[in-house]
Amino acid sequence: MLARRCTRVVAADVSEISLDRARAWCHGMRNVSFQRMAIPARWPPGTFDLIVLSEVLYYLSPREVRDTARSTMRTLRAGGVVIVVNWLGPTGTARGGDQVARQFISQARRLQVIAKRRTVRYRLDVLWRRSPR
């Protein structure tokens, strides 16, 4: 759905299986590229108007969440938006969706939370980087 609205989409995932599925969904969409990488050790090159971190933060250590927040702030353009989505059920990891979302938001200090949505299953936080005046 993003590919239809965006000039360029960079999809990154650690799982080649997930990337293969995404490639199939986006077959023929020349504005979408796929990169296998584990964030934050590797981060897509360039700057972005939108960064979506969907169901990934609870797989990261506290240090990696901090580094992800730093990479996000470094590559998000002024006026850009970050969407953070976290599952709230059992993740099989040491930390849950609420905990990692709170950490990310607190460490992405230059970003302002502009919207939140919470259901029984997930939480979604929208953060914005103010344009310089």
Domain count, the chain: 2
54 and 31: one domain?
A: no
Per-residue confidence band for 133, with pLDDT thresholds at 50, 70 and 90: low
DSSP string, 44-60: -SS-EEEEEEES-GGGS
- Report pLDDT digits (tens) over 5-56: 999 999 999 999 999 999 999 999 999 999 999 999 999 999 999 999 999 9
Q: Are residues 60 and 121 in the same domain?
A: yes
Residue 3: pLDDT over 90: no
Picking from 66, 132, 131, 61, the residue whose alpha carbon sits closest to that of residue 93 is 61
What's the chain's length in residues? Answer: 133
d(CA 84, CA 82): 6
Q: How far apart are CA 43 and CA 60, in angstroms?
A: 14
Q: Does position 75 have pLDDT exceeding 90, yes or no? A: yes
Q: Which of 32, 35, 54, 53 is nearest to 45 (CA)?
A: 35
pLDDT tens for 77-131 read: 999 999 999 999 998 999 999 999 999 999 998 899 999 999 999 999 999 988 7
The predicted model scores a pTM of: 0.91
Q: 119 and 56 in one domain?
A: yes
Are 120 and 79 in the same domain? yes
In this structure, the answer to whether residues 55 and 23 fall within a common structural domain is no
CATH number of the domain encompassing residue 65: 3.40.50.150
